[in-house]
Amino acid sequence: MTRSEFMKLMLGAAVVPSTVVGRAPSPCTVGRAVSSAPQNFSPKLARAKREVQLQLDYHLIGGCVFCSTEHPAPVPMGTRLHAPERKEPMPANALFDMMSVTKTIVATAAAQLVAEGRLDPDAPFTKYLSEHVLGPNCDITVRDLATHSGGFDNERAYFGKKQSFVKDLMQKRPSWKRGERFHYACYNLILIGHILEHLEGKRLDAICKARIFDPLGMADTRWWPVVGSDRARTVQIMRNPNFIGTCQDGLCQRYKKPQGNAGVFSTAADMLKFVTDVLHRKTFKKEVYDLLYTPTFDNATGRRSWGWDMGPKARPDGWSAASIFHSGFSGQTIAIDPEAGFGGVVLTSRTAEHGTGIICRKRVLTILKEGHV
């Protein structure tokens, strides 16, 4: 089977038929699966491994670590460093640049302030950022920011000189009327990050550590950069050796200070702690989880809850309409299906284009949940 034929198969089927597995190219230049996890996998895990191996063989990803609430032991495959001259087995505790999955963490911290009565989700966001050019008569709410429905586009006019970043950030105007459409824009969560800092009086990384990482025992999760000995388990992203321990997002690189759109590094095990908590509503107030699961924007352009995607296009096959999920640009997806009582984490270093990478991770999540009740 050629790479082109495999891509067509990916677009047209939930999982690769078992008859295809034996026809994957071999030997693979990316590297065969390497795992320190126990090898007595269930048939479901064996199928998930075959799917990931095909993605490795067809050079769609450089490496992967996946796990789920049903099978919590992280399964590492492929390589941590996938430049041709620097192959190295992927460790189970590999640190990944979570990119936009960071938004779900920032949104959860904001939901806590809503539950505490300190943040009004339906107030104009300029109530908390009075320096914004839209002023007190702004009709765009904090909830609109959390659902990407306030009218802001994803153009980064504020991506200018370092000295004027905050000033330029506060000058951006919407491109559409509030509520007219869903349009994914990093700007929305950047603003929510600034609102959190305004209300809490400390940096965003300290807020997320105190409100999310510490309560959930996510000891391996931190804001970039990754330094010291931990770099030896940090994953190379997008075939670029410069992106080892450094957030790939250009805004984060330029302005250094944590922003709400990206910048968190984590492991599959730690992200599963986050997923498991949201699934079982364990740690925070009921109102926090209600916000995360309730689709408060829903039309033909998108379906979103507070900080999470709920749209059918990105939802893994076989997952319920109540599912919430989010992906990161460099190859990460976390997903939760409350109706099935199931959650999954698939972290990769993708080498295919962005849309193909999402399909790849959806396929693994489809297999991991298959038959779960």
pLDDT in tens, 332-351: 999 999 999 999 999 999 99
Identify whether residues 97 and 117 lie together within a single domain.
no
Q: Are residues 204 and 245 in the same domain?
A: no
For the segment 249-291, what is each residue's pLDDT rounded down to a tens digit? Answer: 888 888 878 999 999 999 999 999 999 999 999 999 999 999 9
Claim to verify: residue 156 and residue 12 sit in the same structural domain: no
Cα separation of 274 and 216, whole Å? 7
Residue range of the domain that includes 50: 3-102+218-369
Does residue 22 carry a pLDDT above 80?
Answer: no
Q: Is the pLDDT of residue 17 over 70?
A: no
- The candidate with the shortest Cα–Cα distance to 237, out of 229, 227, 248, 226, is 248
- What is the rounded distance in angstroms from the CA atom of residue 312 to the CA atom of residue 303? 8
Mean pLDDT, rounded, of the chain: 89
Residue holding tokens 């050079």? Answer: 59
The string of DSSP letters for 237-257 reads: BTTBTT-SSS---HHHHHH-S
Total residue length of the chain: 373
Does 340 lie in the same domain as 237?
yes
Q: What is the pLDDT of residues 66-116, one digit of tens each?
A: 999 999 999 999 999 976 666 799 999 999 999 999 999 999 999 999 999
**298 and 203, same structural domain?**
no
What CATH number is associated with residue 130? 3.40.710.10
Strands (E), 230-355: 264-266, 297-299, 302-304, 324-328, 332-337, 342-350
pLDDT, tens digit (0-9, with 9 covering 90-100), for 210-259: 999 999 999 999 999 999 999 999 999 877 777 899 998 888 888 878 99
Same domain (yes/no): 150, 206: yes
Query: What is the domain count for the chain?
Result: 2
Same-domain status, 182 and 93: no
Spell out the residues 6+ positions from residue 365 whose beta carbon is closer than 8 angstroms to its own: 316, 319, 333, 335, 344, 346
Cα–Cα distance for residue pair 31/59, rounded to 1 Å? 10
Of 191, 212, 233, the position where a domain reaches its end is: 212
Do 202 and 315 lie in one domain? The reply is: no
The answer to whether the peptide bond before residue 225 is cis (omega within 30 degrees of 0) is yes
Residues 185 and 48 in one domain: no
Last residue of a domain, one of 183, 212, 241: 212
Same domain, 95 and 234: yes
Q: Which of 122, 114, 92 is nearest to 270 (CA)?
A: 92
Is 0.95 topped by the overall pTM?
Answer: no
307-337 pLDDT, tens digit per residue, is 999 999 999 999 999 999 999 999 999 999 9
